[in-house]
Structure 1
């Protein structure tokens, strides 16, 4: 029952709307089946599967709103949930930024559901874990990993006739491999909508190679270095940047897109001219939902083109205040990148550092997007186009805005964290200190 068909979802939403006595009502109905398996020290520790189906009702009187959530679907329970939402709305203060719900919308067709993922059973998860654990055990390495798969749907509707429905599947896998003496560590992560694209064995082999290659790391002086950020490293800083492209924050001077004294940097060239970033819910590699949570259609949007900021995302309230289109924030993004492989990028590097992963990232200054954090799970010194030896991990202080102005080369984009990210070669990346952590 976790995944309802479109017709059944609409029937339930229509029934709930019919109970309403409010000025307006919106309904969100969602469900999923989620399975997982976790292992550490080459042994499975937990596994399981859950199903969830829930309905959220928001009732509005004027500018007062109240929300209730329920997971029982008989008529009496549904009506009780509506009455409760109306009761809460009656107690709520006015929301001065409330806007009336949207009417019917046209949504793109997306292909975010894969039967292969929806049909995953416990024996598949066990085999996926075995394919990761077994090669590590045979080489006296220790693996710790986690795989989670989800198949679900979301449906939205309101009292003005809006209705949207979408099915989604996803599978994510990550593994950390350590050497027996604990001096070497490697990491790999994969995520897809279609599990037929996932090989836990091949991902683990990458982590194994990094673990073996990163033992007995040497300490080198911190400072400014040319770095190659693998997609698993670059994605964290880039996601933080994309999450900071809210128009209101820029207009109010609270983000890197705001100008001192007022105004925004929309239309300005802030990055290297090779930087183009866009979102597209119909992209076959990262298909997404056709609608945002408030019912606005998700469409293809160019955020940065040839280094120029082309769009920011808006709440409906702020867009109406500014008299512009209310573009919702993207669920995922595509960094256009280049055509080189990671190996080709390394070969073209005279002197630099290869970074597998960043972690423990924290904001230092939101107005410049300065972040600090650490490298981990495989950091290597490159000389004359070859990886020479592993190096101790660093703490970094860097801004993705500065980083994308110091761009030297880009590789072919691959999926990382639900986005398409290329490996990036960056000059003058700032490492401030060493870390003894592996």
Structure 2
């Protein structure tokens, strides 16, 4: 790499670092500063903004946000809560599976905010160290992104792969990512089952119990959504939403001339409209909801990050192929480490796919290999600054789920490394066997 390439790469990394420190919309907006410096100061040719992926995210998030506004999300959370309260002794295994499938169904991991206090409450009342189910449940909610038919990462993977000669449908992606993710989550759950000291042997927890006010705060409150009345309209909205997902999967199996990114946009927008008209979903509530707002933040992040990354890599594609070609040619799976490291920086699986997958294809890595390492785009548990992880720490009234004194010795590290590691290995094996 030349000195100029290194300087410009440092600008890209600096923009990502500063954006991650501010969080939310800043990650994409500050990437715009990096893009401006690359284009106007160094004269690089602007890359191509990822408009196809952005349109899909907007349509999917609008649809999911309208379902949340209809009350349908509360019904899904109620179903999950009933399962967890029926089997509290198995919460370390059932809780992450619930958060995983919620993400698979809705396309975003931010739906866990309502369920996480319930997980903590059930574990605490059962005498189970809440860190055990809470940490892996938070991780599992993000693992589910690469297993969701309407998640940006999956749609972006199929779209970019088709542009590079690897024609694979969304159901074909899920055929390997879903079973691989479940195996990875179960392995992490097994490792979390006896993690840490039992509550009756934990001196820090016992010290908290000795304080009457703290004890009351921990045990006198009950987190639940079972007391919420679910209307028929709310249930109908869920039925409509799931029908839309089924239609998307059906179209993916068919051989129609319309591109899948267009099909998804049409179905998602039409579905949102049907829920508004027939299920009394309030559009203003949808815009104010957590699903829509987090989705729009993802749009801005992908817009800025991917455009800046594409600008840098497209201008130095030949140099990248020369410097990385030998390593990648010998160890094609090593691109997983690149995906993982980039994810630590940018906190968005969709942005990692959009910004790094074209480079991976340009390096000559086959599509099946890239599908196999797709789960490695989730690495932002490594530094515990992601909203769902921070929220989980705050929801755990017992204080057992925490960020350590040295930052990296936090509750999410072990389940994150195990689940992502195992999921990636299993996904790679399945992809090599099937494709």
Tell me the TM-score normalised to structure 2 length. 0.26
- Structure with the bigger RCO (C-alpha within 8 Å, sep 6+) is 2
Tell me which structure has the larger Cα radius of gyration: 1
Larger proportion of helix: 2
Tell me the TM-score normalised to structure 1 length. 0.26
